[in-house]
Amino acid sequence: MPSHATTINSQLGDVPSHARVIVVDIRDTPSLAVDLTDDKIQELWEQPIQKVITELQDAHSSGCTRIVVVTPLIGMSGAAGYSAQAAVAEAARIVVKSAARQWGKNGIVVNAVALESAAYGIDESIAGPVSIAPRAMTNEVSAKGIVQWLCSEAAGDVTGQTFIVDGGSWM
């Protein structure tokens, strides 16, 4: 069975050769903080965040000028039972800002898309709702439109930003 990241990636469409889309890959298995053994921290935090950092470096060395990181919204909202995964998500969202600050002078723009956590298989009945307000929209959401735009020439003056795609849960 493909990972959630693979599935999300397959839905984003083709991107230009000067662009790179990095989909943060987290595990959807919940684990309470007291149960986070060293092995689990390695698996749920260290490996995924190192992968994001390495992929950003690879995008830079490949000469990409449009870089988009798609990350689950739980980084911004927090999630009970998913603290290690939320740490990865937020770390990925914020390293985007460091990259944007350092690489902007070279014409490289770097942005983040925070995608609703259901797309990553996060169980909201465990994690808790991202907001006390109900989701504004009822339709399924896709990050394809915003990712395609961020990879285009039109987005050349936009960097270090986070675009939330969740049907209006987190505002």
Partner 1 sequence: MDVTTHTGTRLQDRVAIVTGAGQGVGEGIARRLAEEGATVILAARRAETGEPVAEAIRAAGGIAECIVTDVAKGDSVQQCVDETVRRHGRLDIMVHNAFSGAVPHLLHEATMEKNWKLMSKTGVWACFFCARAAYPHLQQSSRRGTGLGGGRLILITSPSGVEGSANIALYSPAKAAERAIAKSLAREWGPEGITVNCIAPVAGSPALAIAFERNPALKDAIEARTPLGRVGDITKDIGSVALFLASDDSSYVTGQTIVCDGGSFLGL
Interface residues toward partner 1, by CB under 8 A: 32-36, 38, 41, 45-46, 49-50, 53, 56-57, 60-61, 74-84, 86-103, 127-128, 160
Query: Residue 89 or 148: which CB sits closer to partner 1?
Result: 89
Q: How far is the CB of 63 from partner 1 (least distance, A)?
A: 11
Q: How far is the CB of 158 from partner 1 (least distance, A)?
A: 15
Query: Residue 21 or 92: which CB sits closer to partner 1?
Result: 92
Host H or E run for residue 84: helix 83-103
Query: Residue 53 or 137: which CB sits closer to partner 1?
Result: 53
DSSP of 139-168, one letter per residue? Answer: S---SHHHHHHHTSGGGTT--S-EEEESSS
Give Cβ neighbours of residue 72 (< 8 Å, ≥ 6 apart): 24, 26, 85, 89, 114, 115, 116, 117, 119, 120, 122
Q: How far is the CB of 56 from partner 1 (least distance, A)?
A: 7
